[in-house]
Chains A and B, each alone.
Chain A
Amino acid sequence: MDFNRYIVLFLFSVLSLNADLLCGQQLSGLTIIGNNIGTKTLSEQAVIDAFKAKNNFWSNGKALAVCLPETKTTDATPVCLKLYSKTVSEVQKFWLSQVFQGRSRAPHFFETDQEMIDFVEKTPGAIGAFVNEKNIPVPTELKLQINP
């Protein structure tokens, strides 16, 4: 049966690796907003990269500012899971490591979605992710099209 296990594993890993390819579904449920990040559409991978702060600047030169829901909110877990495939604690660790190492600027955490929206609205280069359960109106200029 080992052979099968390996195949499963292989497939799983491929799938995992290509998670972003499948992230069209991956990031579903999340609302990604961005302000003046140089484009209105992003691939999922790009989003994930952005939220992993692979680059600290957008292509338009604006500084990346990552916005996330506070860990104590309900949005945190799905956002972390979907964006990072990690737990909230792990994401904390991740961001700790990032900031600690100076790789990226500190992310911003918001208690409520509205706060995040307000912040993103006034911060060029900011990008945020949340679960809009209450369906708060999101300004359209902030809305981002996420392609899988």
Chain B
Amino acid sequence: MRNSIFTQIWVPLTAVTIAAVSLLVVYYPTEQRALFKRYKTTELQTIGRTIATEVEHALDQDDFTGLNKMMASVSDSSNIDCSALVFNNDNGTEELTAIFPTEYPLDLSRLDTLNNIFVKSTFTSKIGSGYILIALNKKTLEEDIDRLNRPIFLSFLFFGSLIIILIYALARRISRPINSLTDFARQLQQGNYRLSLPMSKTRSVELQSLQQSLGDLAGVLQAQKDHNKQLTENLEHQVQQKTENLQLAFNDLNTAQEMAHFANFSYNTEDDTWKGSDNLAPLLGIPDSIGNKFRPLLTCIKPADIARIDAQMRIAIKETQRFEIQLQWTSPQDGKTIWLDCTANVYIGANRKAIIRGVVQDITTKKLQQEELFILSNVAKRTSNLVILTDTKRRIQWVNESVLKVTGYSMEELIGKTPKIFQSARSDKQEIEKINNAISEVRPVWAELINVGKCGREYWISINIVPLFNDKGVHTGFMAVETETTERKELELQREQTIRLLEESRTEIAKINAELEEKVEERTRTIQNLALFPQQNPNPVLEFDLRNKRISYQNQAAIDQLGDYLSLPFEKILEVCNIDRLSYEQLRESNETTIHDFTYEVKLFQLNEDNILRVYLHDITERKRNEGQLALLISRLQKTESDLKNKTVELQASLEELERTQSDLLNKERLSTLGVLIAGIAHEINTPLGAIKASGENLKALFSKGLIELIPKITPADLETAMKLFHAASFANLSTIEERKLVQELTAEITLLGIEPRQAQKYARTFVQMGIYRLAEEHMSILANSGTDIILQLALNLILIFKSIQTTTLSADQGSKVVRALNTFAHGNLASASTEFNLHENIETVVTIFWNKIKQGSVVEMNIPKDVKLVGLAEEMTQVWTNIVNNALHASGNRCTIRFDYSQTEQHQVIEVSNNGPQIPPSIIERIFDPFFTTKARGEGTGLGLNIVHGIIEKHKGSIRCESDARLTRFIITLPLNEKGQ
């Protein structure tokens, strides 16, 4: 209340009034008394004079009537307390001749001591001179004065009170609108913007304008509040969405972490305690009951590993460096053994004891995969089969050792060439055509043809070519598994030859058979004849007398051919002829036997009643030999075929393994990219969040301390000035360098006005923050104003409020952009349908993800119109930009300018991504889209990045080419214009 306007007006004025009245009341009587006294004295003097004159007249003219009348009137008027007539005696004394009223205590010698006003009027007459003394009692006088004054005082008091009441009313009148405006402002502070302004009929221009301004402010604040509310709702909604997305993303991250089997741990060497992240215990299968000491867990590690770990740890502690170790771990819970990769840092704590903090990852799968991969790659490398991997254009990307061995080329000579170099003039054109057809139709093919090695050595190969696809079904190349079949081929040729020969033989044989049959017929006849005349039979014919156990007959041929066998005992001869009891009892048609390296068919002819067995020995040596050879060939063929089958099965398995490995590599590539980017993204999200939160706190402080406290303190005129400043302000963002320079210049300008430098700088800062960089007239007058500080403070606070709101909005947008980009990126491997999407946004997504890396030294120029749309798979296209940008950043060490350009023809949309990084050498530019081709060090890159890009573009039925010179490297992507014609 002390400082209210009402009090400020009323109190001083009332005080002044009271002071005036008091002064008057005090001063007036005194003045009045003096005046009155003077007046009275004058009056008395007049009376005295008159009386004296009358006395003189009476004495001189003997006429006392005048004096009589005079005295009568004097006594009537009762103005005088006493009138005395005093004569001056000759001796100098005074004689009181007459006094009226008679009893008045008048002592002439002591006039001064009496409480009277005296007036002496001298007279002279013939009888003497003297004076008339008129006395007026002061008390009477004062009583008179008081009596006179009383009404005056009362009227003073009355009018004084009236004035005070008027002042009060005036003050009230002045302050009421201000009070109501203050209330209104307070309402504003409490957030109640919808209150309508109490439009008091104030006549003051300033107050009206203040009303107006406050009304406007209320309107603005209401609008802002609504806007804010909406913003807040949007923000909340967005934040909620973002939070949900973030939550999802973080869940994904957590899942990723879990899926990647990571966990943190910390181990204190001093007290053997350990602790870690939530998923550490489950990862290692440690039950909760174990507690926090590590010793009990040592049983989970193999003793050999313990020793190794101990040694490495000692070194790491001694050198305070990082160590990495792989070990096997037996889970206490289920006894399973897993592989762990442990990476840790050593920290020396306060008491010089080491604390080991690190990360543990379950690499069992990886290890197994590694082993498998190792085995498989060994298989692929070492298999005696030739394995050649090519790209879609059949350019060789990799060959195994067997290829080098067999063909005699070196790896470098082969990489990049097509298998045509293996073809010779003698290669079967049909087979080549078969292969080419299958290649162009991208289907598997099996062929067999002649290849030629480096030195011209020719050899037969059996080729199995299969096309390779990545997990998205994009064709990435071919794999040829070849087996040198020279031997086999030759064998086959031989076989064929043999078969041909056989066929010929067969025909021959058939012919011969026919002839033979004839001849047999003949012979049979002959034999039948000869049976009677066995002698002529060129084949041995024997007759065995079974009863007598002797050979009863042998023909000449038998003698010739069997020779001394015939001298063997009977049983022996039977045995030699492979004739056993069964044979001759059942007269089995034929057996075989070998005598003297000749093979005979033993035909048992007849057994007559004399138990004579006639035996014909038919020489089938030749036939046997042929059959034997044939059988050999057939068995060899079969073996080779079964070998081939096995090998094919093996290779099929290898092929499947390779395909799996390939897709694993692709996943690994994406996960590794993701992992690298996540750290950057956390930063990109947290910074806008920080800005939003800080803006919230700023807004709170600005409203409470900045506005509500200031408004009552400011005069209406100053408030108007502040509002003008606010309305004229610009909200542009300056860089700190620019701002520093502008503040310096403006400080100098202000100092010239005579303001002290420190204060001038303070003003300069405020002005610059309000967007004022040079002083105009109105600014100078503000600086000269007494209310400078409060004007500037109020205007600045209003501006800062707006800026804070701006910050909130922009940061929310920024954060949502990042989350959206992350979302897009993380879900990149989900197949989705073709959609129409905005190209600029698609590229922006990638730029946002990479922003953390980019901003460390690179620049991105986007020359893409904002309305261009593509039809396709949006997530996959982001992969395209990601891989190209990643390559550019890596190649240039994060210091390059990357530019995106767009152009459109009738039928195509062309997007060009160019960067000013190092040139891609012409020698390898052909190969950059090949799978597994990378210029990075081993382990740094999978070599699949651009291959994937190529695959995606092809999937979109477009094409990509790369041109690179020393200045600029350009990737030109051409996509067909979609059917909508956009």
Q: A residues engaging B (CB < 8 A)? A: 68, 70-72, 88-89, 92-93, 95-102, 105-109
Contacts and interface: CB of A to CB of B under 8 A. Distances in A.
Given A96-B97, A100-B83, A101-B99, 19 more contacts: A72-B62, A89-B126, A89-B128, A92-B59, A93-B87, A93-B127, A95-B58, A96-B58, A96-B85, A98-B98, A99-B64, A100-B55, A101-B102, A102-B72, A102-B75, A105-B68, A106-B58, A108-B65, A109-B64
Contacts of B55: 96, 100
A85 B122 CA distance: 28
Candidate in B55, B64, B72, B85 with the most chain A CB atoms within 10 angstroms: B64
Contact of B85 (A68, A88, A97, A108): A97
A100 B72 CA distance: 9
A95 B55 CA distance: 11
B68 A99 contact: yes
A143 to B, nearest CB: 24
26 contacts: A68-B62, A70-B62, A71-B62, A88-B127, A89-B126, A92-B58, A93-B127, A96-B55, A96-B58, A96-B67, A96-B85, A96-B98, A99-B67, A99-B71, A100-B51, A100-B85, A101-B71, A101-B100, A101-B102, A102-B75, A102-B100, A106-B58, A106-B64, A106-B67, A108-B65, A109-B64
Interface string B62-96: 11110110011001000000010101000000000
B133 to A, nearest CB: 11
B440 to A, nearest CB: 164
Contacts of A72: 62
Contacts of A105: 68
Contacts, number: 66
Nearest to B128: A89
A96 B83 CA distance: 13
A97 B51 CA distance: 12
Contacts of A109: 62-64
Candidate in B51, B62, B72, B125 with the most chain A CB atoms within 10 angstroms: B62
Contacts of A98: 98
Nearest to B63: A109
A89 B129 CA distance: 12
Contacts of B63: 106, 109
Contacts of B97: 93, 96-97, 100
Interface residues of B, number: 25
Interface string B339-365: 000000000000000000000000000
Contacts of B126: 71, 89
A44 B63 CA distance: 26
A97 B100 CA distance: 9
Contact of A106 (B68, B127, B128): B68
B71 A92 contact: no
Contacts of B72: 102
A68 B67 CA distance: 17
B830 to A, nearest CB: 137
A93 B86 CA distance: 10
B98 A100 contact: yes
Interface string B828-870: 0000000000000000000000000000000000000000000
A35 to B, nearest CB: 18
A27 to B, nearest CB: 21
A95 B72 CA distance: 15
Candidate in A100, A101, A105 with the most chain B CB atoms within 10 angstroms: A100
Contacts of B99: 101
A99 B99 CA distance: 10
B100 A107 contact: no
A89 B97 CA distance: 12
Given A101-B99, A102-B72, A95 B128 contact: no
Contacts of B85: 96-97, 100
Interface in B741-779: none
Given A71-B62, A92-B127, A106-B58, A97 B67 contact: no
Closest 8 CB pairs of A and B: A106-B64, A109-B62, A97-B98, A89-B127, A106-B68, A100-B98, A101-B100, A70-B62
A72 B125 CA distance: 13
Candidate in B65, B83, B99 with the most chain A CB atoms within 10 angstroms: B65
B59 A100 contact: no
A101 B98 contact: yes
A93 B71 CA distance: 15
A96 B123 CA distance: 13
A101 B128 CA distance: 19
Contacts of A95: 58, 64
A109 B61 CA distance: 9
A72 B62 CA distance: 9
Contacts of B68: 99, 105-106
A29 B99 CA distance: 34
Nearest to B75: A102
Contacts of B58: 92, 95-96, 99, 106
A97 to B, nearest CB: 3
B52 to A, nearest CB: 11
A95 B75 CA distance: 17
A89 B68 CA distance: 18
B71 A96 contact: no
Contacts of B51: 100
A113 to B, nearest CB: 15
A96 B62 contact: no
B956 to A, nearest CB: 143
A100 B100 contact: yes
A99 B100 CA distance: 10
A81 to B, nearest CB: 15
Contacts of A71: 62, 126
A92 to B, nearest CB: 5
Contacts of A106: 58, 63-65, 67-68
B67 A100 contact: yes
A99 B63 CA distance: 11
Contacts of B65: 106, 108
A97 B68 CA distance: 11
Contacts of A99: 58, 64, 67-68, 71
A107 B59 CA distance: 12
A88 B100 CA distance: 23
B575 to A, nearest CB: 217
Nearest to A94: B97
A96 B59 contact: yes
A56 to B, nearest CB: 12
Contacts of B100: 100-102
Nearest to B127: A89
Nearest to B84: A100
A51 B813 CA distance: 131
A95 B59 CA distance: 9
A70 B67 CA distance: 16
B64 A107 contact: yes
Contacts of B59: 92, 96
Nearest to A98: B98
Contacts of A102: 71-72, 75, 100
A71 B59 CA distance: 9
A93 to B, nearest CB: 6
Candidate in B68, B83, B87, B99 with the most chain A CB atoms within 10 angstroms: B68
Interface string B100-140: 10100000000000000000000001111000000000000
